[in-house]
Amino acid sequence: MRKVFLLYQNEMGKTVRKVSILVAMILMFVFIGGCALTYKGVESFTSYYWQDYGHVSDEFKKDAEAAEAEAVRLRAVLQTLDPETDKDSFAEYADQYLDNLTDQTRAQLLARLYRTAAEAITRRNYSYDSIFETMNDRIYDTFYYNNAPVETMEALKAEEHRIVADTNMLNAELDQLEYVFLGASFREMLDRRQELLESSGTADGSYAIYKEVYGWLDKYADKVDVSASDYILAQADNYVSNRMALNAQTEDQPDQQGVSFSAEKLEKEIALQEYALKHGTVIGDAERANSPVQNRSIMNQLCNTGTYIVIALVIMLAGSAISSEMNNSSIKSLIIAPVRRGKIFAAKGLALLTVQTALLLFSYLLSLLFTGMLFGFRNFGTVVYYAFGAAHGMPYLAAAILSMLLDGLAIGLFAALALALSSLTHNTAVSVTLPLLGIFGGLLAELIMLLGGGRPYIAALLPIHNLANLHRITGVPSIFEVFNSEYGADAAVTPLFSWIYVILLLTALVWCAYDAFCRKDIT
Amino acid sequence: METVLEVKQLNKSFRNHHVIRDVSFEVYAGEVFGFLGPNGAGKTTTIKMIMGFVFPDSGEITICGHSLSKEYEAAMQCVGGIVESPELYKNLSGIVNLKMYGRLHPGVTDERISEVVRLVGMENRAGEKVKKYSLGMKQRIGLAQGILHKPKLLILDEPTNGLDPAGIKELRTIIRETAAKENTAVFVSSHLLSEMEQMCDRVAIIDNGVIIGEKRVDELKTLGTGERYDYGVSDAAAAIALLNGLGLAAERIDPRNGLERITVQTEGARLPELTYKLLTAGIGVYTVSREENTLEDAFINLTGGGNIIA
């Protein structure tokens, strides 16, 4: 063992020297490029929406002012008309007046909505597109209905009253929205919702469930990050809907999307949501500003990019580990040392493993650093997953390390392939190219297809893609498979079979490399 | 005398081509053993088998009493050397290469590394990267690596390649001193026969994968066919015809000072008679000189002429 350790020290010295310049270059590139692009991206994204919403808000304000002036004029005209004698004229002006009133209130509401959105974007660096669109649609829906002609002052007053009532309702919703946009505390939002719930009452049986959920959330109200609060509340709504669906539906009934209802699936989802709600955390990978999930999303992207770089480096190192020494004959100085070839091989393998792990860890720490530098060092929250019949939580950073280890195992299999090829062929080009093609071949194929498709094919060159192929080929489950339980009863192969496959594959590749290295003549 | 290297009945084939046939020899402690042969004779293949690069099809190699196949590490502990050319990590300095190699041998200290660096005359350049070295400098560091752990068997394959005359002389001195002072067995293969003559105690000659002779250098020199005399004559062709007619082996050799020259294998006692006969046949005789048989003569004699450089 001592000799293996001494050889290992030698191998580490050589490998680190080989890899250091390359890593330094890549780091510089990633750091400068990544920071510049991210900064530019965030800046342009924010300013675009701010200008857009600010401008739209000003336009609506002008519309509202014009409509108000017109309403004043029309009301003055109406007051001069007698509905009995000038029936047709009155009805015509009354309709004009009501339309104008509708336009005016709609424009005022829209101006307020856009202003709120624009301010929120500035304050929070994020566009609440979906909420904004929803509110916008509701404003339009509320005011665009077929209105019967107004023929009397009573009817006119009733319509005015209805429009005002609609406006008040929308204003109340906007108030609610402002809580979200302008960052009310989670407790405030929760209290408000509880008040609404208690005042409205529910006929569909959801009241009890809501009360239960708010009870859970109350314990965590002071701990929840305000930026995640609206999503937790959305999650609560979703949870209640799910519980209601589970109560109402049966296995045979397809849901609204036509997908067969599965009580098991829903129960799993409920278990996950229940866990998340009880622990004040967030499920899913939605991208939102200043939330743990946004940081996770950025961290995931950076980690993936880092992993691709590590794959390329490790395969280059493994593919050249034996063949380059054979080609430049430096292997001779190792062979004449008083150690068996098996030990030399073991030292090389250990050195590769160490370098790969160190590079992955380095990439992970670098991703953490970049994420913190760009979006602030904050709590990354908990990843919720379903396994062994119950929902569990794992701190995101621990999950990221687990993901790194799983990726590392998959990369290790490709590195073993490169090492085996290097040992069998003594040809570095073949040993490096074939494994790289195995991983990046899909991207290459996509690029070739895109070249004919007229899409922005340059995107295919970006390393940020998914690592699914790496895991699919090697049989090593990805973190998503582990967390989403896809790598369980639902998987095509059982975990046991999959792990046997991984171990056999790794053993076969390492044995090939070992056997060729130890038994081949060095001529 | 302690046997450091014992090679018995080695055989090796590459793709049905039998390149080494029943090669056997021994190398003793404190001697410099030369391994001679024309290109493709099997010298390097034999060395590679001794150093563990190539696995023999059959036969046995024993180093310091340890079988190479069964006690590889113990056997290789006694070996140091250079095969073909010194192979070092080009991106590392000479001194780092030596340190990396020394790490695998217990007892190699920094002082020992400095000592061997001084011994091979590389103390001023050892800190530079190997890729900046000339071939001769690489040879020196390779030699330093070979003797670093004071091996009992030092194997040097073509060690004078790339060395200037001064370097060759230094190398010869180092080898002789290593053999004498540290009682190391030195196994040297080279094409430079003159160097081998001066460097080696014993020589084995290999041709077509077969050892065709193994003698002490002084014994081998006498393997020539008797004494040899060179004549400077007016008509070389007529002289050769006359001497061949008398049953003597005579042949033309390179002219010197404008004179045609021949060489003849004969005894000194017949010299007056032969000279008289040449003169009476009308052939002018201008010079007569006695020549020593060299290792080259023995080599050519044994191998029937090969690709060697005198």
Quick check: B283 and B232 in contact, CB under 8 A? no
Res. A429: pLDDT tops 80: yes
Low-confidence ranges of chain B (pLDDT < 70): 191-192, 220-226, 292-310
Q: Residue B85 and residue A333: Cβ atoms within 8 Å?
A: no
Per-residue pLDDT at A203 exceeds 70: no
Asked if the C-beta of B56 comes within 8 angstroms of chain A's C-beta atoms, the answer is no
Residue of A nearest to B75 (CA): A338
> Does residue B53 belong to the interface with chain A, where contact is any CB pair within 8 Å?
yes
Question: What was the pLDDT predicted at B310?
Answer: 42
Q: Is the pLDDT of residue A290 over 50?
A: no
Test mutation, A2, A19, A333, chain B, max B CBs within 10 A: A333
Pick from B53, B77, B101: CB nearest A522: B53
Query: H helices of A182-251, where?
Result: 186-200, 206-220, 226-248
Contact B87 A523 (CB under 8 A): no
Give pLDDT, residue A288: 43
B89 touches chain A (CB under 8 A): yes
CB-based contact B92 A17, cutoff 8 Å: yes
A371 pLDDT higher than 90: no
Instruction: Please list every residue in chain B whose beta carbon sits closer than 8 Å to the beta carbon of residue A4.
Output: none
Q: Within B134-235, where are the H helices?
A: 135-147, 165-181, 193-199, 217-221
Distance from CA of A24 to the nearest CA of B (A): 18
**d(CA B305, nearest CA chain A) in Å:** 26
Contact residues on chain A for B72, CB-CB shorter than 8 A: 338, 340
Euclidean distance between CA atoms A118 and A40, whole angstroms: 19
pLDDT digits (tens, 9 = 90+) for B28-60: 988 999 988 877 888 889 999 998 889 999 999
Measured CA to CA, the distance from residue A222 to residue A188 in angstroms comes to 10
pLDDT of the residue at B177: 81
Handedness of CA A272, A273, A279, A282 (dihedral sign): positive
pLDDT score recorded for residue B280: 92
Say if the Cβ atoms of A13 and B100 lie within 8 Å.
Answer: yes
Distance from CA of B135 to the nearest CA of A (A): 15
pLDDT at A508: 93
- Report chain B residues whose CB lies below 8 A from the CB of A521: 48, 53-55
Can you give the pLDDT at residue A220? 74
> Which chain B positions have a beta carbon within 8 Å of A519's beta carbon?
55
Query: Distance from B14 to chain A by nearest Cα, in Å?
Result: 10
Please tell me the distance from the alpha carbon of residue B293 to that of residue B215, in angstroms, as a whole number: 15
Contact: A329, B53; criterion CB under 8 Å: no
Chain B residues whose beta carbon lies within 8 Å of the beta carbon of residue A336: 51-52, 76, 79-81, 83
Nearest to A9 among B72, B73, B103 (CB): B103
- Lowest pLDDT segment from A104-118, A305-319, A457-471: A457-471
Predicted model pTM: 0.65
Closest residue by Cα to residue A291 from A370, A355, A233, A229: A229
Cα gap A92→A70, rounded to integer Å: 15
Contact B84 A329 (CB under 8 A): yes
Q: How many CB atoms lie within 10 A of CB B81?
A: 25
Query: What residues pair up with B189 in beta bridges, in sequence order?
Result: B35, B157
Query: Cα(B113)–Cα(B261) distance, rounded to whole angstroms?
Result: 54
Nearest-angstrom CA–CA distance, B273 and B285: 13
Q: What is the pLDDT of residues A126-165, one digit of tens each?
A: 445 656 676 777 777 777 665 666 777 777 888 888 777 7
Distance CA A367, CA A401 (A): 12
- Contact assignment for A523 to B84 by CB distance below 8 Å: no
Tell me, what's the pLDDT at A421? Answer: 92
Span A29-84, pLDDT tens digits = 666 666 666 655 555 544 455 556 677 788 888 888 898 898 889 888 888 888 77
* A3 contacts B104? CB cut-off 8 A: yes
CA of B255, closest CA in chain A: separation in Å?
44
**B162 part of contact set with chain A, CB < 8 Å:** no
Buried b (16+ CB within 10 A) or exposed e, A258-295: eeebeeeebebbbbbbbbbbbbbbbbeeeebbbbbbbb
Amino acid identity of residue B276, one-letter, is Y
What the block records as the tokens of A399 is 């999950």
Of A7, A335, A338, the CB nearest to B105: A338
Nearest CB to A338: which of B14, B76, B100? B76
Residue A71, phi then psi, degrees to nearest 5: -65, -40
Residue whose C-alpha is closest to residue B99's, from B84, B82, B114: B114
Task: Give the confidence band of A507 by pLDDT, cuts at 50, 70, 90.
Answer: very high
Residue with tokens 């408000």: A192
CB contact under 8 A, A521 and B81: no
- Cβ-defined contact of A330 to B90 (cutoff 8 Å): yes
Check CB contact of B46 with chain A, cutoff 8 Å: no
Q: Does B77 touch chain A (CB under 8 A)?
A: yes
Provide the pLDDT for residue A514. 92
Does the beta-carbon distance from B48 to A330 stay under 8 Å?
no
Residue of A2, A7, A332 to mutate, testing the B interface (most B Cβ within 10 Å of its Cβ)? A332
Asked if B161 is an interface residue toward chain A (Cβ–Cβ < 8 A), one would say: no
Best mutation target among B10, B12, B57, B103 (most A Cβ atoms within 10 Å) is: B103
In chain A, which residues have their Cβ closer than 8 Å to the Cβ of B48?
Answer: 521-523
Listed residue (A517, A338, A423, A336) closest to B84, CA to CA: A336
Cβ-based contacts under 8 A for chains A and B: 77
Q: How many residues are recorded in chain B? A: 310
pLDDT digits (tens, 9 = 90+) for A241-288: 888 877 776 555 555 555 555 667 777 777 887 887 777 676 654 444
Q: CB distance A337–B83 less than 8 Å?
A: no
A326: nearest CA partner in chain B:
B87
> Residue A490: is its pLDDT beyond 50?
no
Name the amino acid, one letter, at A53.
Answer: Y
